[in-house]
Chains A and B, each alone.
Chain A
Amino acid sequence: MTAPVKASRAVPSVETRGRSRGRSRSSTPADVSLLLLGACFVLPLFWLVLASLDAEASHETRVPAQASLENFAAIMSPGLLFQPLWNSLVLSAGTATVTLAAAVLAAYPLSRYRSRFNSPFMYAVLFGTCLPVTAIMVPVYGLFVQLNLLDSMPATIFFMATTTLPMAIWMTKSFMDGVPLSLEEAAWVDGASRMTALRTIVLPLMRQGLGVVFIFVFIQAWGNFFVPFVLLLSEANQPAAVSIFSFFGQHGAVAYGQLAAFSILYSLPVLALYVIVARGAGSSFALSGAVRG
């Protein structure tokens, strides 16, 4: 029982060499199966790219007879592209700001004070994320009707912030736990209040973590379809996720090429943000994603 453990510990350099040799030997079948699986994941995206460049696109996937940017040119209008994207931006940035502000405030006492309420509170908050948001939409619609809040951007922002809040509190608290208390204590000695210490000492030190939470919430809000679909009625308020339906003509005709071009322009910002987060804080993002669900 002890022998193999000792052996593996005794020869670390041989182990690593042995492993890299084993790697190249066994890699070919793994490479091939992985590439096949990867191909299955890329296939549905081909249509999106090809159709966007095809002036006569249908839902068939084909290389356009003549690649053109006609679809992109056709959607470059305030009503079709810029207004919806602007609405998406307002909605997502607003949601991320509200969420982050509330989460930072909530995380501070939960991270800094010991109390027997902390743990039940954190688990109760986590339980909130487990409730299917789609099931809550019917009652939320009812609530919005009663309070006369339908089609209100601010109200929608506050609701969307609430749905992302539980996870944001968990992420923010764990980032804040990483900032040593001793740094704040020095500030208190100098006469700073707790909120001043939070603002001047703690938040700057967890800048990167806050960035991750902000982008994380922003991406979710940007991609959210169902909430604005139910709560925002007027065309002037609709974000890109909802306005995309305008490419379905009134008589069943679908402008597939324009739909694809619009989809690509609408997706680019979140793809870029994801790359930023994955580069900057790869592991923490993967982990926070793991808890989020």
Chain B
Amino acid sequence: MPAQTGGRGLLRYLPVLPSVLLLVVFLAGPVLWAFHASFTNAGLTGRNARSPQWIGLENYQRLLVDQVFPLSLGLTVLFVLGSAVVGQNLLGLALAVLMRRARRTVSAVVGTAVVAAWVLPEIVAAFAAYAYFSRDGTLNQLLGGLGLDQPDWLYSWPMAAVVLANIWRGTAFSMLVYRAALNDVPTEVSEAAQMDGAGGWQRLAFITLPMIRGSIATNLMLITLQTLAVFTLIWVMTAGGPANASTTLPILAYQEAFKFGDIGYGTAVATVLILIGGVFGAVYIRLLREAKP
């Protein structure tokens, strides 16, 4: 009775239903809706909110000729490369490596400091970063104390400020990943290399890093996806300004949809962002599946 077993088999999976329902209604649904709405002139208020018209590829054509979109795409790439791929990733690795050599108390204290910035609610971290980089904030007070120039960071160097702030906020994650990875590296291998005369840097480059390359790839994927979605930090610090100089894609999507009320165009931007996230997500899942035996 294959049919009956099949029926029973499906019935056994009934408890999965609530999760599937939630995911379909609140995740898959909005993604499909975004895809659809990006082909319409849906608005936040007025006639276009009640009865949006199908306008085909018009929103996407607008993206191509828009002044802000290419800039915003470039700033997003800069933000992700600078603060995640280079900043959080390398600093996290450096911290993890240093912590293995330093005294236990020192690494515990510094670890707590790094994690604190990460555990704080994002809005609090954003305000702290805003105060830190503001014209007479802590950073400029320090620079002044050293007799250096004190630029108005949020105005003259908004991208530098948000990139640094995101490194401050997110490095703990990479640090934790690399600490766990380094702990799993068997000490024998490294010690054998030491006996063969390999120095600290050589051991790191030729032994340790190749052994944790799985963790490196996973970490890079995850921090890229996280950083791609950062909104609050930038919005509080610069609100995308001045003159769009720090408008990344999430900020642009928000502004177009909610500030200018152009839901159709805003969802077109959001769709691009979802597609970028989807590509990275697909690569990430491939990596995970290959890593599994």
Query: What residues make up the interface of A, taking CB atoms closer than 8 Å to B?
Result: 4-5, 7-9, 15, 19, 23, 26-27, 30-31, 33-35, 37-48, 51, 58-61, 98, 101-103, 105-106, 108-110, 113, 115, 117, 121, 123, 125-143, 145, 158-159, 161-163, 165-166, 169, 219, 222-226, 230, 240-241, 244, 256, 259, 263, 266-267, 270-271, 274, 283, 286-287, 289-290, 292-293
Contacts and interface: CB of A to CB of B under 8 A. Distances in A.
Contacts of B30: 136, 139-140, 142-143
B160 interface: no
A24 to B, nearest CB: 8
B29 interface: yes
B19 A103 contact: yes
Contacts of B109: 38
Contacts of A98: 22
Contact of B267 (A5, A61, A106, A139): A139
Contact of A61 (B138, B179, B270, B278): B138
A5 B231 CA distance: 51
Interface of chain B, helix or strand or loop or mixed?
helix
A161 B22 contact: yes
Interface string B1-38: 00000000100111111111011011111110110010
A115 B168 CA distance: 44
B85 interface: no
Contacts of A39: 113
The 4 nearest A-B residue pairs measured at CB: A130-B281, A38-B110, A293-B222, A223-B121
Interface in B213-228: 218-219, 221-223, 225-226, 228
B127 interface: yes
Contacts of B282: 127, 130
B102 A30 contact: yes
A30 B98 contact: yes
B176 A289 contact: yes
Contact of B18 (A105, A138, A289): A105
Given A43-B132, A158-B26, A225-B232, A34 B95 contact: yes
Contacts of A222: 121
B101 A27 contact: yes
Given A43-B132, A139-B270, 8 more contacts: A31-B106, A59-B137, A60-B141, A127-B282, A136-B30, A139-B267, A142-B42, A244-B123
Contacts, number: 301
B71 interface: no
A141 B261 CA distance: 12
Contacts of B27: 128, 131, 136, 162-163
Nearest to A262: B124
Given A137-B254, A286-B180, A131 B31 contact: yes
A105 B22 CA distance: 13
B204 interface: no
B114 A142 contact: no
A259 B127 contact: yes
B82 interface: no
Contacts of B130: 59
Given A41-B168, A109-B15, A139-B270, A34 B110 contact: yes
Interface in B167-197: 168, 171, 173, 176-177, 179-180, 187-188, 191-193, 195-196
A35 B27 CA distance: 43
Nearest to B195: A4
B93 interface: no
Contacts of B276: 132
Contacts of A9: 188
Contacts of A259: 127
A288 B78 CA distance: 28
Nearest to A274: B119
Given A9-B188, A31-B103, A135 B232 contact: no
A60 B16 CA distance: 53
Contact of B31 (A33, A58, A139): A139
B77 interface: no
Contacts of B14: 109
Contacts of B219: 290
B132 A44 contact: yes
B229 interface: yes
B136 A166 contact: no
Nearest to B132: A44
B277 A105 contact: no
A113 B11 CA distance: 12
B162 interface: no
Given A34-B102, A140-B26, A48 B188 contact: no
Contact of A47 (B19, B128, B179, B229): B128
A286 B270 contact: no
B26 A61 contact: no
B263 to A, nearest CB: 6
Given A130-B277, A130-B281, A58 B223 contact: no
B60 interface: no
15 contacts: A4-B196, A7-B195, A8-B192, A34-B106, A45-B128, A125-B19, A127-B285, A130-B285, A135-B270, A136-B34, A138-B34, A142-B42, A241-B122, A283-B180, A293-B173
B245 to A, nearest CB: 19
Given A35-B106, A165-B23, A138 B266 contact: yes
